[in-house]
A and B are shown apart, each in its own frame.
Chain A
Amino acid sequence: MSIAEAKEVARTRTSRSKRRRLTTSRLAVLLFMAPWIIGFLAFIAYPMLSSLYFSFTKFNLLQTPQWVGLFNYRFMFAHDPNFWLAVRNTLWIIGLGIPIQIVFAIATAVVLTRVKRGAGGYRTMFFLPTMVPTVAAALGFLFLLDPAGPIDTILRFLHLPQPLWFASAQWSKPSLVGLGLWGVGNTMIIFLAALLDVPKQLYEAADIEGASSWQKFRNITLPMISPVIFFSVIIGVIDGFQYFTEAFVVSGGDLNLGQPQGSLLFYSTWLYQQGFQYTNMGYASALAWLLFVVVMICTVILIRTSDRWVFYQGGFR
């Protein structure tokens, strides 16, 4: 029986049982929801509340937590230069890295929409680096940008300056942006879907009016994909505050976190150092709660505006 036939049979039967679909038994709901309820209480609600408590204490895991009121938060904002350094570095990555990433993602997606034959093959090739595990990609780029690596060898051959890339405070963050561009695939795919969703008639109408390619992009494409740009920016902010793995690997690991010269000390790096290297669990909890507030603000903005960027096939109830 095909789905269409099944639907037909079902339709005639449902009229008889309209009343039964209204509510499911409470026990059934509870049983089905049980994994999430337990998980939410044990791995989210309880940790959140206890870290809120720890954030008002001095706690090193060995002694019992000692109440210090708002000390951690005051210290964070007024007396911790590394906190501000980490915030500045993180905002650098968010403010510069994300716009570059989004422009690059749109550009590569546009390239994919332009080729008619073999588009699938190109899409696979553009996306492939995104599949590389972050640590492997970071190790690969460490080599590519090493003084003995291929990039500097080519630059030397062309008699161009050869920066120290990850080893220089000036070039370390731009190098990380380059690493991010290599793995742009996910963002690219989202933009590709958005570009293909733009109604063809709009371009046809513009063609009749004699619009140039740039005018069409500026006045049709950009407005039509703007919700997706907005979505990517918010997700980028949330991800930016969690930026950790790439910086950890290219800095040279546990003993060199944030190197060179603090240029790669990011928010999550500082949280990790406070919590798991210095076991300042109270201070790390305060950092975690500030992060939580920032992420929640972003999430609320996202959910509030979701009708602008999410399209449900089956209708949203």
Chain B
Amino acid sequence: MLLSIGNHSVAIVVAIVFLTPFVFILATALMTRHQALTGSFWPHPFQWHNFIKVFDLVPFATYARNTVVYSVLATVGTVVSSIPVAYALSRMSWRGRQVAFLLVLATLALPSQVTIVPLYIIFVRIHWIGSLKPLILPTFFGDAFTIFLLRQFFMTIPEELSEAARVDGASELQILTRVIVPLAKPAIMAVALFQFLYSWNDFFGPLVFANTHTWTLAVGLAEFSQVIHRSVLWNIQMAASILFMLPVIILFFMAQRAFMEGVTLTGIKG
């Protein structure tokens, strides 16, 4: 009993440490510009319209639209293009499959810094710099991390299910869309979420390829903080940061439940 109370108090202290920054950021987002510079902890008065002022002081709506366009299209592209590749690497037998899989693994950790210079040169030549196209197009050609995770999941689906469909005369495409994809929904949801978060947070890509009109929130807010000398408008900066993180945090709370349900519903374990 005593031990349990001790364990809980440690956990509560750690939780407070993790959550305190949120409290300070939110409190500051609600302060007046002047109060945010005084080191006070509690907003007085509560200035809720800071969250509206963000849209006047920063091209927030434009950045948000660009972020949504990039994140949604990149997620669709990655999922649609990676599923068949993961299928070929797990549920089709062919010579060279192991080599192909090793190549995918090798590219898994490839930093974007390594390929960005020549890609930049290509996109300069075709006049795509300044648009989101250099960020979105490559996602339609498979992503190593997504392929890897989906392949791992596809491997756990019993081979007998494919065999049964094959005996019934189903083509590989039909097996993929009617047998594998329905069973792999939780895994597909998971990789979609990972890609969405990656694009939402991506900084290096939009920094190099986009321009002031196509900046996403990540780049836009970072640049905004240097244009207006940062300490002048802490309240607006914090309000903007909260608006930027809010969709992702809401998604996290929604998806956390969906994942748990998905895992318990399928219950397939090879």
Which A residues are closer than 8 A to B by beta carbons? 3, 6-7, 9-11, 13-14, 16-17, 20-24, 26, 28-29, 31-36, 38-40, 42-44, 46-48, 50-51, 54, 61, 108, 111-112, 114-116, 118, 122, 124-126, 128-129, 131-136, 138-144, 146, 148-150, 152-153, 156, 182, 235, 238, 241-242, 244-245, 248-249, 252-256, 268, 271-272, 275-276, 281, 284-285, 288-289, 291-292, 295-296, 298-299, 302-303, 312-317
Contact = CB atoms under 8 A, between A and B. Distances in A.
B11 A111 contact: yes
Interface stretch (B43-51, B52-60, B100-108): B100-108
B85 interface: yes
Secondary structure of the A side of the interface?
helix
B61 interface: no
A20 B169 CA distance: 12
B166 A17 contact: yes
Nearest to A136: B241
Nearest to A234: B109
B163 A135 contact: no
A178 B11 CA distance: 19
9 contacts: A21-B159, A35-B82, A44-B110, A54-B117, A111-B14, A139-B241, A152-B39, A256-B226, A272-B208
Given A32-B85, A134-B203, A6 B164 contact: yes
B110 A295 contact: yes
A42 B81 CA distance: 15
A150 B107 CA distance: 43
A184 B191 CA distance: 20
A3 B268 contact: yes
Contacts of A135: 201, 203, 217-219, 221-222, 241, 244
A245 B11 contact: no
B128 interface: no
B234 A143 contact: yes
Sort chain B's interface into a size bin. 35 or more
A139 B221 contact: yes
Nearest to A146: B231
A279 B127 CA distance: 17
Contacts of B108: 299
Interface of B: 4, 7-8, 10-11, 14-15, 18-19, 21-22, 24-25, 28, 36-39, 41, 81-82, 84-85, 87-89, 92-95, 100, 102-122, 124, 138, 140-142, 147, 152, 155-161, 163-164, 166-167, 172, 197, 200-201, 203-204, 207-208, 217-219, 221-223, 225-226, 230-231, 234, 237-238, 241-242, 244-245, 248-249, 252, 256, 268-270
B88 A131 contact: no
Contacts of B231: 146, 148
Q: Which 9 A-B pairs have the closest CB atoms?
A: A39-B141, A10-B160, A253-B226, A10-B164, A153-B39, A32-B88, A36-B142, A35-B81, A47-B118
Which interface residue of A34, A135, A139, A313 has the most chain B CB atoms within 10 A?
A: A135
Given A291-B113, A298-B109, A313-B269, 15 more contacts: A3-B161, A36-B147, A111-B14, A122-B11, A132-B245, A142-B225, A143-B25, A148-B38, A150-B24, A241-B111, A245-B203, A249-B225, A253-B223, A312-B155, A314-B270
Contacts, number: 307
Which interface residue of A13, A34, A44, A316 has the most chain B CB atoms within 10 A?
A: A44
Given A10-B163, A133-B201, A133-B248, A48 B113 contact: no
Given A48-B115, A252-B230, A314 B163 contact: no
Contact of A275 (B120, B156, B163): B120
Secondary structure of the B side of the interface?
helix
Contacts of A24: 92-94, 172
Contacts of B122: 47
A90 B152 CA distance: 33
A272 B142 CA distance: 26
B248 A313 contact: no
A145 B161 CA distance: 57
Nearest to B100: A33
Nearest to A124: B256
Given A61-B121, A129-B21, A313-B269, A295 B100 contact: no
Contact of B117 (A115, A131, A285, A317): A285
A157 B249 CA distance: 33
Contacts of B242: 136
Contact of A6 (B107, B160, B223): B160
A14 B167 contact: yes
Contacts of A313: 155-156, 269-270
Contact of B221 (A43, A136, A144): A136
B92 A29 contact: yes
A276 B93 contact: no
A34 B140 CA distance: 11
B88 A29 contact: yes
B161 A112 contact: no
Contacts of A136: 221, 241-242, 244-245
B93 A22 contact: yes
